[in-house]
Structure formats: C-alpha cells, structure tokens
Amino acid sequence: PITPRVALVTGTSSGIGEAVVRHFCAQGHQVLAVDFNPAGAEVAEQAGAVFFQADLTDGEACKAAVAEAIRRFGRVDILVNNAGIQHVAPIEAFSEEKWRQIIDLMLTAPFLLTQAVWPSMRENGWGRVINIASVHAQVASPGKSAYISAKHGMIGLTKTAALEGGAQGITANAICPAYVKTPLVDNQIADQAKLHGMEEQQVIEQIMLKNAAVKRLIEPAEVAELVAYLASDAAGAVTGSSWNIDLGWTAQ
Ligand code: NAD
C-alpha cells in the first residue's frame, strides 16, 4: 500500500506536470498544483488536486505557494519542480530578459521552493525533492543556452540537497527526459518545421529523434511513473542521482 503524502507540484496546467498531478491524486496523495496559467485550475479540479496560481519567476510567489500547501494540508512531503519554458536563439542574439526569466523560473524557483519546504520535511524526518531536469542537463544543443544552463544547474542543486538532506530523511533526485509529447515540444516542432521548411513528421524523425535509439517521443505518463517511484518509500536509498529517460540519447 502507498502511504498518502502531501505533494506540491509546479507547472501543472499541461504536459508532464499535469500527468504527475493525475498520477499522484490517483495514488491517494493530497496535491497542491501550482501554475501561473489559470487553465491549471481545471486540470487540478478534474484530478482532485487543489490549484494555486503563482508566477514562479517571483520569489515571493514561490514562498506563498509553500505557505498555502502548509496552510491547507499542514505539511509538504514531496516537492516536484517541473515548471519550465524554452527559448531558442544563438548566444549572440539571446535577450538578457529571456535569460533572466529562464534562470529565475527553472533554477532560482526550484531553489526557493526547496528552501521553503525544507523545515516541514526535516521536522517529519521524511521528504522527497524531485527535479524535472532534461537530457539537456547532460548534453547541450545549439540555441538553448539559458535552458541548458538552468538544467545543468538543477543537477548541482539536486546533488547539494541530497547531501544536506541525507541525515534528515530527505532525498533529492533529478529526472532527465528527452523529447516528451507536450505543448512545449509541439511548439518547437511547429517552429522548426517553419524554420527548415519541413513537414512536422520530418522534424520529429530527423531532428528530435536524431540521437534516439528508441524512435518515438516519450509520453508524459511515462515520466510520471518515474516521479512516483522516486517519491515512494521504496526509493529511500536513491538520492543525488539523475535518472535518464531519454530513449538512449546519452548512451552514445
Ligand atoms: P508544458 O509547457 O506542457 O508545461 C510547463 C508548465 O509550466 C505549464 O503548465 C506552464 O504554464 C508552466 N509555467 C510556465 N511558466 C511559469 C511560471 N512563470 N510560473 C508558473 N508556472 C509556469 O511543458 P512540459 O514539456 O510538460 O515541461 C515540464 C518540464 O519538463 C519543464 O521543466 C521542461 O523543461 C521539462 N522537460 C520537458 C521535455 C519535453 O520534451 N517536453 C523534455 C525534458 C524536460
């Protein structure tokens, strides 16, 4: 049987975060689903989660999200840092504003959320921090400097949290997916098709799956399964690690 926990999940209005919220609710966990997009309210309601609207590029909003979880549920046991965006431009043309937005959302917010949930996890002697990084936390591709820097940084945050949490019953792990079928990737497929004058299917096969041994996109539910494992009691010995779910991309 699965012990019911309290989870705070970010970036839940679509994609991987939505799949994680559904999976956690189905397992009987209480979930605060945090997103700046009001569409997240409907996703949360359908799944049986509570929605909290917050723009996580704002540090005060990060703290308010954790405060809301504790006010509603009395604790936070599981934190899933998932909210993310992409912006593609060569370094020479990359706007400082986009750089700062991506670092704020994808590196500073996970740090502030980890900091804010820590006292609750420490007091309970049990905690799980699960960071949705990317294959781009392990390798780079041109045009994605801010995203790749934030994701590589997230691995450093994960390892540090693992070392600090070990004696307190808190584990921290990262998940590194290759391309997952989500709106974030749909937008990239459309952009690349326009850019290269290709069919969308060609973009998937020739660009997105170029480095993949398994030639298909990943389903959000497949990532949610791995999140659920890392959040479980069974994964208590797993910490400071990065789990690739990347179709074999980084095997070469
Ligand atoms: P998605 O666009 O479906 O979901 C991202 C979510 O983050 C959305 O709900 C969006 O509203 C939310 N968000 C964006 N900006 C926010 C802000 N300022 N404050 C609060 N919420 C905000 O994308 P996804 O593909 O499900 O991505 C989820 C995570 O997985 C991201 O961190 C992404 O980098 C990572 N990831 C995705 C893929 C992929 O191929 N889709 C691969 C590897 C890693």
The ipTM estimated for the assembled molecules is: 0.99
Q: How far is the CA of 84 from the centre of ligand 1 (A)?
A: 4
Q: Please give the single-letter amino acid code of residue 184.
A: L
pLDDT category of residue 1 using cuts at 50, 70 and 90: confident
Percent of the residues in the chain that have a pLDDT greater than 90, as a whole number: 96
Q: Tell me the best of 85, 187, 243 to mutate to test the pocket of ligand 1, counting ligand atoms within 8 Å of each CB and taking the most.
A: 85
| pLDDT recorded at residue 184 | 87
Between CA 143 and CA 98 the distance in angstroms is 13
Q: Is 56 in the pocket of ligand 1 (CB under 6 A)?
A: yes
Q: Is the pTM of this model over 0.90?
A: yes
Mean per-residue pLDDT, 212-238 = 98
Domains of the chain, first to last: 6-180+218-245 (3.40.50.720), 182-217 (no CATH)
In the chain the beta strands, taken as DSSP E runs, fall at 6-10, 30-35, 50-53, 78-81, 127-132, 170-177, 242-245
Instruction: Kindly report, residue by residue over 2-38, the tens digit of the pLDDT.
Output: 999 999 999 999 999 999 999 999 999 999 999 999 9
